[in-house]
Structure 1
Amino acid sequence: MAGRKTTRSPNGAELERLKISPEVAWYMAERGIPLPDCPPLVQTPSPGDAPGAVFDPNRVDRVIKAFGLLRHTQGQWEGQPLRPDPWQVAYILAPVFGWVRWDEDAGGYVRVVRELYVDVPRKNGKSTLAGGLAIYMTCADGEGGAQVITAATTKEQAGYVFEPVKKLAEAAPALKKHVRPLKGVILHPKSGSYFKSISSVAGAQHGANIHCAIIDELHEHKSPELVETIETGTGSRRQPLTCIITTADSGKRESVYDRKRQRVEKLARRVFTAHSVYGVVWAAERDDDPHVEETWRKANPGYGVSPTRSYLRDRSDEAKQSPADLAKFLRLHLGRRTKQETKFLTLESWHRNASMVDEVKLAGREAYGGLDLASTSDLCALCWLFPDGEEGYDALWRLWTPEDNVDALDQRTAGAASVWVREGLLVATPGNVADYDYIQLQIERDMDAFDVRAIGFDPWNATPLTNKLAESQAPMVKVRQGFVTMSPPLKEFQRLLLKGTPEVPLFRHGGNAAVTWQVDNLAVAMDPAGNVKPDKARSAEKIDAVSAAVTALSEAMSREVPVRSAYEDGGLEVV
């Protein structure tokens, strides 16, 4: 295993380009390991950002030493020591095993990272990396009675990881006195630890005290149950590690792969923070030419050795022959999720317009509301927009969720939902369903505070709440969610964000973190005429706050037109 390297002494800008922390760069220089020149397309923040984190080079040494005790079992390197590539050290082993922090309960330093996500095209040494990690975590991590497993959707798939690890153990002279490779398990008698493969929830539940789990080809998992069972089985260990090592899927929404991949990408964009999660993704970008060597290098950190130049050239030639072969090449060898969509609203433009929003100073101002009550057991959203008399708006959101739903939201936001509740960005109402009385009281208070001209709502999701508000003389207005109605305000939303600058923001939102998460989730549907609308079915996660904002903007844009009562077109019946 070799990989591309650089021998230059890197400065800060170079390290930033390479996506390598100064501590990891120092370690590699001290150990004589050249820096790789193959940064991942996506990388979560350094585990060194965690409060109290320190870098321990000795821990990385132990991992690399354990890898070196193993021997390649096939190919041109058969019998030679297994030495990790520089890219594997720089982007995986050193960040994961080097960063530690003090843990009072454990009475010592433990790893910062507890979840590792590696997404890399085929032929880049995934199996070898998984094998080295499995042997180290079983035999050398200092954990007594370590239960180390590899998980896949079928016994056959699980065997694809277990059998190479077994062969590595059998072929390593240094391990013969220490491990006992059997048919379905590798034992480490000295520590009472073992490594085995599983392919069912029942297998993951057996023992339920997992020290390390290696989950192979995540996109093959049709259900999240096995992965979730494994993750909940690590709770009693001092420094457990769940390793997902996978290739890309085709872009299917709401799969277990999609949720994990989306979370890593959001962490990389700093939508929210989870120091215990570290992920890297190697892939070509959408506009890259799939048939040139530069793209192959970008997507494959082991390019030139594994996969070889000739191998990718042959696969590229095949891909030129048919759309089906091209889709396969893009996914398996360039890491592209072939059905992935371009963001309609970018976080870059969103952050440019953050500015400050002072609710006290909004008192008495003209306001237009958008109400989204799409789910009684999840999120409800209200957005108030305050025109500034020129071109821009101040935005203020009210978000509600049943308190029984906060744990589920935490799982989907890496624990951020609880933070939003503490900060007052999200209100947890009592029970397990939406508390419409609570929401009504808040709207009535807002109507006393602001000069409310209209509150738009989707008639398809009309509830007793919208009827009650209309009966109390709230200016409720039906806003249908089709292309004709939604396209103008959604395109205006995009235009305001793109035109706005930090100096002159046009859609001021105060950096609301709960709404930022939903902006990043947004996917849109487009009709043949180029009209767009928010698409909840295809969005990565909840977008209720965005839908509420677009509905409010629809009303604000039509403020020159006299606002009609909801009763003038036949009442509030759902059509």
Structure 2
Amino acid sequence: MSAPYSSYLHEYMAKCRSGEILVGQELLQMFDILDENLRDPNIRFEPADANKRIKFIEEKCRHFEAPYAGKPFKLELFQKAFITALHAFKIFDDEIDKWVRLYQDVLFVVGRKNGKTPLIGAMNLAEFFCGPEGIKILCSSNDYEQAALMFDAINAMREESPSLDKVTRKNLTGIYFGNPKRRKKKGKFSYRNKGHIKKISAKTGAKEGRNIAVGAADEVHEMKDNSGVMPIRQSLSTQDEPLYYELTTEGFTNDGYLDERMKEARQVLKRELHRPRWLVWLYTQDSEQEIWQDERTWVKSNPGLGTIKKWSFLRNMLEEAKTNKATRIFVLAKDFNVKQNNAAAWLMAEDIVNANDQRFNLDDLRGRVAVGGVDLSKSGDLACARALFYKDGKKYTISQYFIPESKLSQLSKEDLEKYKAWIKEGRITVSDGNENDFRLVTAWFVKLVKEFGIRFLKIGYDKWSAIYWVKEMEEVGFDMVRVEQNWGPMSEPMKLVEADLKSNLLYYNNDSLDKFCLENTAITVNSKMEQMPIKVQGKDEKKIDGAVTNIICYRVYIDNRSDFLRLCA
């Protein structure tokens, strides 16, 4: 640390408060709490344990990924300050009659690609060596693959260091002390030490997480509730100085586990909730507006910007986010920790309406090749069938909707008037009773073939479609392909539908029912930046079937593009 500061934490807090380092208000609120700790006569500030771990990381740990592979793990000031805040504050525990670490729980929120997982991995490895003999450490996440990222980071750092590798070993179950070639060696770093580092999915925490000293849960934003982490937290109860980390970015799960934790964390920072043993370390923006107005503020949620994370990368992502809704949602949540509604509207009003309103009819498409898409969803609800054509570099689509008669009585007065008009126009076919008669769907496709000479290459259907109806379609002569309404199958075609609508390359006669479905469609994005259509929040009674069939048709088109375009030529 540089003079005249007594610790890395003091230096970091001073530079942040002076404006030399830019951070958000929520981290400054945590600094105020730490200042109170420094003045509290019942709390000691002893940075020796923190400095020991910092020294271990910088001298023993090495990076394992490009472009820093093999190089020493040199910590940034913000990382050293965080480690100091965690390990330097001590309180006296009357139950065990000794001074112990004040902070037992940690919430560390930072934008992606700021070295979060390698940092906590290095801290866990430091704890393995610098902590008490027999220490057991658990790397956890919402799924086993994510948990493996931290564990693999720890193991890679261990393997990169000859001195660490010399006194440890790894097998299928975890990392242990002791060198197989030196089995008789005694001491803390020998087989005598029964400590270990393991990885588990948080979903299996109740089975594995027993009697551990350190638990680290990565990417908790994906968890819907606390059922995955509570067994891990409870397994720390026997320890004198337990340590539980939660490290994450913001996510897209509404009313999930992280939402509740962030709510409580902010209550702690505002002194509305007393959790003296919880270190809340949040790298967050003060507003969404500042992200678009001043790129200098980006460091508030990205403290590693310019050293760990590249400015050019973030600038490119923000530029793409200006025109792509899915990218915007993903970047704001993952790069800037701005919580995103997982049901944000998919398309702007100007995107939905064809600007030049190019009208067409079935006679214009007579004798052409098409791909089809069907969303039957529930037999007692609105259903949609669609045909997609390609002509002169543009796509044209026609659709037909189906509804059981009994469903009409359940509509609101406003929607009922709309549906009556659509039925009168022939846009919706009504089935008697409580269920859609799927034979009417088959009849619509057959009509296109017989009356307009349209040939269908393939017709996509969702997994909920009735098996007997699919068989009926195949017996008539249609080639049916299943399109599952899930992240992988729906993401690419959804992006292409959006792009074609914005570019006026997809025409649907500005049909009011198709438009109704597009307006009701929201977009949800996962951690892999894949997207899927869902209903706009608060509009469960609205329908999106027409939008879904567009996406299904595009899935069939993408999977059969070469054959389709050849036949359309």
Q: Residue 164 of structure 1 aligns with which residue?
A: 153
1:206 to 208, 222, 229: 208
Query: Could you report, residue by residue, the CA deviation over 1:97-136 in whole angstroms, capped at 9, with x for unpaired residues?
Result: 0111222333322100000110001010011111112112
Change (3 A) 1:132 1:38: farther
Q: Distance in 2 between matches of 1:36 and 1:145?
A: 42
Kept in 2, the 8 Å contact 1:36–1:87? The answer is no
1:71 to 62, 67, 78: 62
Q: Distance in 2 between matches of 1:8 and 1:329?
A: 38
Whichever residue aligns with residue 91 of structure 2, its letter is R
Kept in 1, the 8 Å contact 2:9–2:85? The answer is no
Q: Residue 94 of structure 2 aligns with which residue?
A: 104
Change (3 A) 1:62 1:243: same
Please give the root-mean-square deviation of Cα atoms over the aligned residues, in Å.
3.0
Q: Distance in 2 between matches of 1:123 and 1:293?
A: 17
1:271 paired to 2:272: yes
Q: Distance in 2 between matches of 1:251 and 1:49?
A: 39
1:223 to 222, 225, 241: 225
Q: Distance in 1 between matches of 2:286 and 2:48?
A: 36
Q: Distance in 2 between matches of 1:203 and 1:316?
A: 38
Q: Residue 146 of structure 1 aligns with which residue?
A: 135
Q: Residue 85 of structure 2 aligns with which residue?
A: 95
Extract unaligned runs of 5+ from structure 2. 179-187, 343-536, 539-569
SS in 2 for 1:77: coil
SS in 1 for 2:230: helix
Q: Distance in 2 between matches of 1:198 and 1:55?
A: 34
Q: Residue 61 of structure 1 aligns with which residue?
A: 51
Shift of 1:204: 4.3
Query: Could you report, residue by residue, the CA deviation over 1:458-489 in whole angstroms, capped at 9, with x for unpaired residues?
Result: xxxxxxxxxxxxxxxxxxxxxxxxxxxxxxxx
Q: Distance in 2 between matches of 1:108 and 1:135?
A: 25
1:86 to 51, 54, 77: 77
Change (3 A) 1:150 1:49: farther
Q: Distance in 1 between matches of 2:41 and 2:252?
A: 37
SS in 2 for 1:325: helix
Q: Residue 317 of structure 2 aligns with which residue?
A: 315
Q: Distance in 1 between matches of 2:202 and 2:279?
A: 26
Kept in 1, the 8 Å contact 2:90–2:102? The answer is yes
SS in 2 for 1:226: coil
Kept in 2, the 8 Å contact 1:106–1:238? The answer is yes
Q: Distance in 2 between matches of 1:133 and 1:314?
A: 32
Change (3 A) 1:157 1:98: same
Q: Distance in 1 between matches of 2:172 and 2:40?
A: 41
Kept in 2, the 8 Å contact 1:179–1:187? The answer is yes
Change (3 A) 1:293 1:157: same
Structure number with larger C-alpha Rg: 2
Q: Residue 120 of structure 2 aligns with which residue?
A: 130
Q: Distance in 2 between matches of 1:313 and 1:111?
A: 40
Which stretch of the first structure deviates more once superposed, 181-190 or 255-264?
A: 181-190
Extract unaligned runs of 5+ from structure 1. 11-21, 341-536, 539-575
Query: Could you report, residue by residue, the CA deviation over 1:57-96 in whole angstroms, capped at 9, with x for unpaired residues?
Result: 2111111022121111122322221122101112x10110
Kept in 2, the 8 Å contact 1:153–1:199? The answer is yes
Q: Distance in 1 between matches of 2:214 and 2:236?
A: 8
Q: Distance in 2 between matches of 1:139 and 1:61?
A: 14
Whichever residue aligns with residue 200 of structure 2, its letter is I
Whichever residue aligns with residue 75 of structure 2, its letter is P
Q: Residue 494 of structure 2 aligns with which residue?
A: none
1:249 to 248, 251, 254: 251
Q: Residue 162 of structure 2 aligns with which residue?
A: 173
Q: Residue 328 of structure 2 aligns with which residue?
A: 326
1:113 paired to 2:103: yes
Shift of 1:192: 1.5
1:338 to 337, 340, 343: 340
1:306 paired to 2:308: yes
Whichever residue aligns with residue 21 of structure 2, its letter is D
SS in 2 for 1:249: coil
Shift of 1:157: 1.6
Kept in 1, the 8 Å contact 2:205–2:228? The answer is no
Q: Distance in 1 between matches of 2:119 and 2:172?
A: 22
Change (3 A) 1:103 1:168: same
1:285 paired to 2:289: no
Q: Distance in 2 between matches of 1:57 and 1:182?
A: 35
Kept in 2, the 8 Å contact 1:288–1:295? The answer is no
Change (3 A) 1:25 1:118: closer
Instruction: Map 1:560-571; keep pairs closer than 5 Å.
Output: none
Q: Distance in 1 between matches of 2:241 and 2:321?
A: 44
SS in 2 for 1:289: helix
Q: Distance in 2 between matches of 1:229 and 1:60?
A: 28
Q: Residue 497 of structure 1 aligns with which residue?
A: none
Shift of 1:39: 2.8
TM-score by length of 1: 0.52
Kept in 1, the 8 Å contact 2:53–2:127? The answer is no
TM-score by length of 2: 0.52
Shift of 1:26: 4.7
SS in 2 for 1:59: helix
Change (3 A) 1:62 1:106: farther
